[in-house]
């Protein structure tokens, strides 16, 4: 018995060696996570340092011509979209969670469907239908003899209206979840204290849902700031269109980078505003609302509630999809050719490659945090997932400036060592585009993977480590089989987001690598709305996949 005990005992030297090996192993994982965070930080740092490169002549031109308009337009867009998505998203969420009316169960999930339509697709459908030469104003002129009184669609109000319809589901989803958690009892408590129904909503329900509302509005504002296609279709100049014109019109990458830094300032203001509005308060509610707890609407009120939900769904989803189907049916024979198949292949190839790379990096970040959850790794994870707040045009500028500098160094190195006069190796390559996608959508992939890690019991890892498994083996043989659902969700979400991404693709794509999104931009720039319908409908159908996933995840027993 003593002999057996002696054979099982690990010597202090061997135990020290194992401990040292594990520490080195963990340090390698930490180093990898820091590298990923550094790659995300590089475009931001390059954009911030762009002011070291003078572009005085161009800036004088911008100051005297469009800079004031850019600042005003961007501020108006943020205020209009922020107020619009708050009112529409919170109002609809309150209606479907607290009241019972005809069609409520259908609208409860159907009001999320507009998330499947990219803002630039909704924009060109709106312009085609409501512009002076469109069918709506044509019908008004036929009936009333004139349509001069009809408000112009190509205006600040038009672009704000389209973006509100496109982005209100961000607020709707989060507010709906918050109101479901509150339930009817919270309002009844306010009523007992002498509050009217309106006062109870304003003084009890809204303050309790403030964190969710702030997060939803911030998401909508960041999407509006990052948008390029919709504002370009409306000829509404913002910083995203100015970056595009400075880069490809004035051929000044430093000026584009400096404009991108100003756009970053607006993004930072949106994030700071969200944090300040949310505040430090924490709200813990354990109530759930059931179908029997909702207030029953009857008569005109019930009809009005149904009509309000139906009108929003009609304008934001049904009309655009029906119009796209109508156009695509008429042009499918001419447009469904080898060029369309090439656009589709390029889109799918980029989406698949970006999904694999981004999901792998997100898995690395999430696993490293489980191995060593210190503040440095936590900071690296937070920084690496910051890219979703950055507009694609800003990332494109930062990556292009970085790659131009690297290409210059590589060219000098090859020339001095081997006498090779090489051209640009990184600029205009697929690597630049994949890097932009990875930085932009790292947070999209990290969310499902991180939540899947939360469901793995630490005892499984402890048992595997006691059997001598390395960290790599624990990840590959223990964790990944349990992470299949999270990995699949992350890959799918990144794939769909890459398919719809326009600004980064327009600015960074290699020659000949046109995608469905760039095809839509090309056709809408020429006013050929019908020719843009087939690729737009493809993106809408693809976008329905994550929306269905969200609907299933947010479904309630109500």
| One domain for residues 461 and 322 | no
Contacts of 194 (CB under 8 A, 6+ apart): none
Distance (Å, whole) CA 322 – CA 128: 13
The H or E element containing residue 522 is helix 516-525
Within a domain: 446: yes
Residue 506: CA atoms inside 13 Å, Cβ hemisphere, count? 26
| One domain for residues 455 and 546 | no
| One domain for residues 521 and 471 | no
Give the residue among 502, 509, 263, 253 at the shortest CA–CA distance from 402. 253
- pLDDT at residue 7 in the model: 38
Q: Find the CATH number of the domain harbouring 496.
A: 1.10.3720.10
Give the residue among 428, 548, 523 at the shortest CA–CA distance from 115. 548
Within a domain: 248: no
| One domain for residues 310 and 433 | no
| One domain for residues 230 and 307 | yes
Quote the domain boundaries for residue 487.
Answer: 19-47+56-65+354-513
Give the residue among 394, 423, 408, 432 at the shortest CA–CA distance from 513. 432
| One domain for residues 421 and 525 | no
Strands 99-100, 295-296: pairing is parallel
Within a domain: 379: yes
Inter-axis angle of helices 156-192 and 119-130, nearest 10: 110
Within a domain: 338: no
Residuewise pLDDT in 10s, the chain (558 residues): 444 434 334 444 444 444 444 455 677 878 888 888 888 778 877 877 776 666 666 667 677 777 788 889 988 999 999 999 999 999 999 899 888 899 999 999 999 999 899 999 999 999 999 998 889 988 888 888 888 888 889 999 999 999 999 999 999 988 888 888 776 666 666 666 666 666 777 777 777 777 888 888 888 888 888 888 899 999 898 888 888 888 777 767 777 777 887 787 777 777 677 667 665 545 444 444 444 467 788 889 999 999 999 999 999 999 999 999 999 998 877 788 888 899 999 999 999 999 999 999 999 888 888 888 888 888 888 888 877 777 888 888 888 888 888 888 888 887 777 766 666 777 778 888 999 998 889 888 888 888 888 888 888 888 887 877 777 888 888 888 888 888 988 898 899 889 989 888 988 888 878 899 999 999 998 888 899 999 999 999 988 888 887 777 666 444
| One domain for residues 91 and 125 | yes
Q: DSSP letters of 337-374?
A: SHHHHHHHHHHHHHHHHHHHHHHHHHHHHHHHHHH--S
Within a domain: 75: no
Distance (Å, whole) CA 490 – CA 488: 5
| One domain for residues 282 and 408 | no
Distance (Å, whole) CA 185 – CA 246: 56
Domain count across the chain = 2
Within a domain: 500: yes
- pLDDT at residue 196 in the model: 66
- Torsions phi, psi of 100, nearest 5? -110, 125
Within a domain: 400: yes
| One domain for residues 308 and 358 | no
Distance (Å, whole) CA 329 – CA 326: 5
Contacts for 294-297: CB closer than 8 Å, 24+ residues apart: 294/97, 294/98, 294/99, 294/100, 294/104, 294/184, 294/558, 295/98, 295/99, 295/100, 295/184, 296/99, 296/100, 297/99, 297/100, 297/101
For the beta carbon of residue 403, count every other beta carbon within 10 angstroms: 22
Contact 480, 345 (CB under 8 A): no
Q: Find the CATH number of the domain harbouring 546.
A: 1.10.3720
| One domain for residues 367 and 436 | yes
Distance (Å, whole) CA 105 – CA 220: 25
The H or E element containing residue 295 is strand 295-296
Within a domain: 241: no
Q: Which residues is 295 bridged to in the sheet?
A: 99
Distance (Å, whole) CA 104 – CA 306: 7
Sign of CA dihedral 175, 178, 183, 188: negative
In a 3-state reduction of DSSP, which class is residue 422?
coil
Sign of CA dihedral 269, 275, 278, 279: negative
Give the residue among 84, 86, 98 at the shortest CA–CA distance from 213. 86
| One domain for residues 299 and 412 | no
Give the residue among 32, 29, 39, 31 at the shortest CA–CA distance from 386. 39
| One domain for residues 171 and 219 | yes
Question: b/e for 66-76, b at 16 or more Cβ within 10 A?
Answer: ebeebeebbeb
Contacts of 509 (CB under 8 A, 6+ apart): 433, 515, 518
């Amino acid at each position: 018995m003593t002999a057996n005990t002696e054979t099982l005992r690990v010597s202090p030297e061997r135990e020290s060696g194992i401990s040292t090996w594990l520490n080195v192993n963990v340090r390698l994982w930490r180093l990898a996570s820091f590298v990923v965070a550094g790659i995300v930080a590089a475009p931001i740092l390059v954009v911030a340092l762009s002011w070291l490169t003078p572009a005085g002549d161009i800036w004088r031109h911008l100051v005297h011509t469009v800079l004031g308009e850019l600042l005003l337009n961007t501020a108006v867009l943020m205020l209009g979209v922020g107020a619009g998505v708050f009112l529409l998203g919170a109002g609809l969420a309150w209606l479907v969670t607290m009241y019972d009316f005809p069609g409520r169960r259908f609208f409860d999930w159907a009001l999320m469907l507009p998330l499947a339509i990219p803002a630039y697709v909704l924009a060109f459908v709106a312009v085609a239908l409501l512009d002076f030469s469109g069918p709506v104003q044509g019908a008004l002129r036929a009936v009333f003899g004139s349509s001069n009184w009809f408000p112009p669609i190509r205006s600040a109000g038009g672009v704000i209206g389209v973006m509100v319809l496109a982005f209100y589901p961000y607020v709707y989803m989060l507010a709906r979840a918050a109101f479901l958690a509150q339930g009817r009892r919270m309002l009844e408590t306010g009523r007992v204290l002498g509050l009217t129904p309106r006062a109870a909503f304003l003084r009890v329900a809204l303050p309790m849902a403030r964190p969710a509302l702030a997060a939803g509005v911030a998401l909508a504002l960041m999407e509006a700031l990052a948008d390029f296609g919709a504002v370009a279709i409306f000829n509404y100049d913002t910083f995203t269109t100015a970056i595009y014109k400075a880069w490809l019109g004035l051929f000044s990458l430093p000026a584009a980078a400096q404009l991108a830094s100003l756009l970053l300032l607006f993004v930072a203001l949106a994030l700071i505003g969200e944090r300040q509005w949310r505040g430090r308060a924490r709200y813990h509610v354990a109530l759930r609302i059931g179908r029997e707890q909702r207030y029953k609407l009857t008569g005109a009120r019930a009809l009005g509630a149904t009509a309000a939900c139906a009108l929003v769904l009609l304008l934001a989803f049904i009309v655009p999809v029906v119009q796209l189907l109508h156009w695509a049916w008429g042009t499918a024979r001419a447009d469904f050719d080898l060029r369309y198949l090439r656009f589709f292949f390029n889109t799918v190839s980029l989406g698949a490659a970006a999904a694999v790379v981004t999901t792998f990096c997100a898995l690395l970040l999430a696993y490293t945090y489980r191995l060593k959850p210190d503040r440095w790794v936590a900071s690296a994870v937070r920084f690496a997932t910051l890219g979703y707040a950055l507009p694609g045009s800003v990332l494109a500028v930062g990556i292009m400036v970085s790659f131009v500098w690297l290409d210059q160094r590589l060219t000098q190195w090859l020339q001095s060592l081997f006498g090779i006069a090489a051209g640009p190796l990184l600029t205009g390559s697929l690597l630049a585009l994949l890097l932009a996608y990875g930085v932009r959508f790292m947070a999209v992939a990290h969310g499902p993977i991180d939540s899947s890690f939360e469901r793995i019991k630490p005892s499984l890892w402890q048992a595997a480590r006691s059997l001598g498994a390395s960290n790599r083996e624990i990840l590959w043989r223990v964790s990944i089989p349990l992470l299949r659902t999270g990995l699949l969700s992350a890959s799918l979400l990144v794939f769909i987001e890459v398919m719809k991404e326009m600004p980064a693709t327009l600015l960074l794509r290699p020659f000949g690598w046109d995608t469905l999104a760039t095809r839509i931009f090309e056709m809408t720039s020429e006013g050929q709305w019908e020719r843009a319908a087939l690729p737009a409908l493809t993106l809408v159908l693809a976008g329905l996949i994550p929306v269905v996933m969200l609907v299933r995840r947010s479904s309630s027993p109500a």
